[in-house]
Amino acid sequence: MAGYLFFALKRLLQLAAVIFAGTSLAFVIAKLSPISPVETIIARVTNRASMSPTAIQSLRETYTQLFGLDVPVWEQYVNFWARLLTGDFGPSLIAYPTPAIELIMLALPWTVGLLSVAVVLTWILGNVLGGLAGYYQNSRFLKAVGIFAVGIQPIPYYIVAFLMVVIFGYLWPVLPIAGGFSMNVRPGLTFEYVSSVLHHAILPASSLVLVGMGTWFFGMRALVSNIITEDYVTYAELAGVEQGRIVSSYVMRNAFVPQLTALAMALGGIFSGTIITEQVFAYPGLGTLLIRAVNGGDTTLVLAVSCISVVAVATAIFIIDLLHPVLDPRVRAE
Amino acid sequence: MFSVFRDLIRYNIEFAVGVVLVSGVVLFALLSYVSPVDPTLIYVAIPDQPPSTQYWFGTNSRGQDLFWQMTFALRNTLSFGLTVAVLSRVISIVVGLAAGYLGGWVDRVLMFINDIFVAIPIFPILVLFYFVLRSNLDTFTLALVMASFGWPFDARLIRSVALGLRHREFTRHAVFAGMPARKIMMEEHLPYVMPIIFSTAMANMIWSIGLEVTLAVLGFTNLNIPTVGTALYWANNHSAMVVGVWWWIMIPVILIVLTFLGLFLLAVSMNEYIDPRSRLRRMGA
């Protein structure tokens, strides 16, 4: 137990370092931006009403203060951290004066929902099929799955999502290709709303599953085909242990654990995939928000989404890593 | 080196297919050097012509002959991927070999940094870079940024090999003979990780080209440079699919899928070649 606590503490330190480095990097990049949030707002205000130069000047001062830009950069950095810890990034520009964090909180559940469903499905499907393909190496069906996975795995998320829009939106329109739920359904915990949300999630989720499955399929197939040459598997076969049992508790179980660590490492990439998929399917998550923010020149919101992404992905990886010793006795022993 | 290549072609169908695909794509991209048209000009051909004997790949709504346009696009895309792969290989080799051979606190510090880079989601960061640099984001800058994010997985892989090499007899001989650490890493250990470097380079090219295509399709790169991604961007921008100019979208998609498939098969078959157990199985032992 003490060993596990030490391990958890070490990982917690690492989590803090990742979040610190990632958000600092985002802050530095954002500071290099030639787009000034103050000037963006002023341009928007003066667009609607003509103002005297003195009024514009006082407006500029007010906004500079509001965005905390009236102090040196290092102080801005310290303030940025203070605000980050309270979850306050300042007002967004595309939906001024709504705070950026409010927009993010509206979008985040969609992304987290889509991502978690897609990751769990991808991981299970890919690993089970890959494991079976590694064990039953002569199965026609599993060979076909392998060839399919080879073909689709290297294609970028965007292209697969786009092809699915073309197929299910234009050629055979059976599934909704845009939005998170139907316009005629009122959000709430009703059957209509939930089923509409699920219905709209089918295409984006399955495009993520299709692209992501291959990696797990190949990884698991390779792992399993190595494990079946181990002595204990041969022994179990000779001893007449049921084949189903060999596959599930002798072979697959030992191969799942390294795949779980791989999941932690792959999560950052899958997250990027989700952001792109959301944009293609106009899904109301973080990705769509990020791209709207970029096109609207919204520095605050872009910075906020980047920081939240770093925190979310790092935390998810941290949780998976904490699970690792629970599942693998060898790691526990260390 | 050459005999390995010959054996791979002969015994490994994936490798052979990969070589054919990649060399086909590279040859097509090389055609851009003998292209009769300037890729930056628009309205030089009749717009919206379907593929025919005159225009092999058809023409797009911007009045460009897609065949020649795509040769330039593919050349830029491939050289972009190659730049990222080469740059990030340098980082991953240095970090991986140093961490594996030197060990101790060097290893701990390097792997700590490595873990940070693994966990940072790159897409929002890349978008942030575009947001800041806008039109100043040229291909090389983008390659530089991606290369600085594309090394951690491979550095870990190289480190694990170097860890094993460190305790081998020949390393000890080299140490006793007074060889400096830098020389041991670069001259004694590097050849052993070369196969891994090749196969991860392919995977890295797939990764970087895929990200570039995605960024370009969303309009987040310099759209005046013809790449496969920007070709798709312009096609979407002119609603090619709705108007019925399907070849404008399908041809870049097919080309990029062929490229990815080729690179992927090369990476997979080389990986398999590195792993002696699966090599033995293939030979029927």
The whole-angstrom separation of Cα A214 and Cα B119 is 21
Residue A268 has its nearest CB partner, among B119, B132, B253, at: B119
Asked if B129 lies within 8 A of A275 by C-beta distance, the reply is: no
Which of B25, B113, B128, B135 has the highest number of chain A CBs within 10 A, making it the mutation to test binding with A? B128
Question: Which of A117-121, A262-266, A293-297, B28-32 has the weakest average pLDDT?
Answer: A262-266
The whole-angstrom separation of Cα A315 and Cα B28 is 45
Asked if B119 lies within 8 A of A22 by C-beta distance, the reply is: yes
pLDDT reported for residue A1: 67
Residue A272 has its nearest CB partner, among B121, B128, B268, at: B121
pLDDT band at A301 (very low <50, low <70, confident <90, very high): confident
pLDDT in tens, chain B (285 residues): 677 777 777 777 888 899 999 999 999 888 888 877 777 777 767 777 777 777 777 777 777 777 888 889 999 999 999 999 999 999 999 999 999 888 889 988 998 888 888 878 888 888 888 888 877 778 888 999 999 988 988 898 888 888 888 888 888 888 888 888 888 888 888 888 888 888 889 889 988 998 888 888 888 888 888 888 888 888 888 877 777 778 888 888 888 889 988 998 888 888 777 766 666 555 554
Residue with tokens 């769509």: A288
The whole-angstrom separation of Cα A306 and Cα B121 is 8
Contact B233, B217 (CB under 8 A): yes
Of the candidates B188, B199, B190, B208, the one whose C-alpha atom is nearest the C-alpha of residue B87 is: B208
Residue B156 CA to its chain's centroid (Å): 19
Contact B185, B125 (CB under 8 A): no
Geometric angle at alpha carbon A220, from B212 and A241, rounded to 5°: 170
Which is higher by pLDDT, A70 or A225? Answer: A225
Asked if A294 lies within 8 A of B130 by C-beta distance, the reply is: yes
The whole-angstrom separation of Cα A10 and Cα A265 is 17
Residues in chain A closer than 8 A to B153 (CB atoms)? 265
At CB < 8 Å, which residues of chain B contact A?
112, 115-116, 118-125, 127-132, 134, 153, 206, 209-211, 213-214, 217-218, 220, 241, 253, 256-257, 260-261, 263-265, 268, 275, 277-278, 281
CA atoms within 13 A on the CB side of A95: 14
Asked if A279 lies within 8 A of B127 by C-beta distance, the reply is: no
Residue A67 CA to its chain's centroid (Å): 29
pLDDT band at A330 (very low <50, low <70, confident <90, very high): low
Residue B213 has its nearest CB partner, among A34, A158, A310, at: A158
Of the candidates A1, A271, A222, the one whose C-alpha atom is nearest the C-alpha of residue A116 is: A271
Residues 6+ apart with CB under 8 A from A109: none
Q: Is pLDDT above 70 for A262?
A: yes
Closest-CA residue of chain B to A296: B131
The whole-angstrom separation of Cα A108 and Cα A116 is 12
Residue A18 has its nearest CB partner, among B116, B206, B256, at: B116
| pLDDT tens track for A49-88 | 677 778 777 777 777 777 777 777 788 888 888 887 887 7
Task: Specify the length of chain A in residues.
Answer: 334
Contact B231, B46 (CB under 8 A): no
B180-218 exposure pattern, b = at least 16 Cβ within 10 A, e = fewer: eeeebbeebbeebbeebbbbbbbbbbbbbbbbbbbbbbb
Residue A30 has its nearest CB partner, among B130, B132, B268, at: B132
| pLDDT tens track for A136-180 | 888 888 888 888 887 787 777 778 888 888 788 777 777 777 776
> How far is the alpha carbon of B183 from chain A, nearest alpha carbon, in Å?
32
Which of A170, A272, A278 has the highest number of chain B CBs within 10 A, making it the mutation to test binding with B? A272
Q: Is pLDDT above 70 for A334?
A: no
Cα dihedral across residues B132, B138, B141, B146: positive or negative:
positive
Question: Which of A96-100, A319-323, B209-213 has the weakest average pLDDT?
Answer: A96-100
Asked if A34 lies within 8 A of B118 by C-beta distance, the reply is: no
Phi, psi of A226 (to 5 degrees): -75, -40
pLDDT reported for residue B285: 41
In this structure, what token pair is assigned to residue A248? 């599930």
| pLDDT tens track for A191-212 | 777 777 888 888 888 888 888 8
- Interface pTM, i.e. ipTM: 0.79
Residue B121 has its nearest CB partner, among A158, A162, A309, at: A309
- Residue B30's H or E segment, with its range, is helix B13-30
Residues in chain A closer than 8 A to B261 (CB atoms)? 150-151, 154
- Quick one: CA torsion of A223, A225, A231, A233, rounded to 10 degrees? 100
Bin A33: left if φ > 0, else alpha if -120 < ψ < 50, else beta: beta
The crossing angle, in degrees rounded to 10, of helices B122-133 and A2-31 is 20
Asked if B220 lies within 8 A of A290 by C-beta distance, the reply is: no
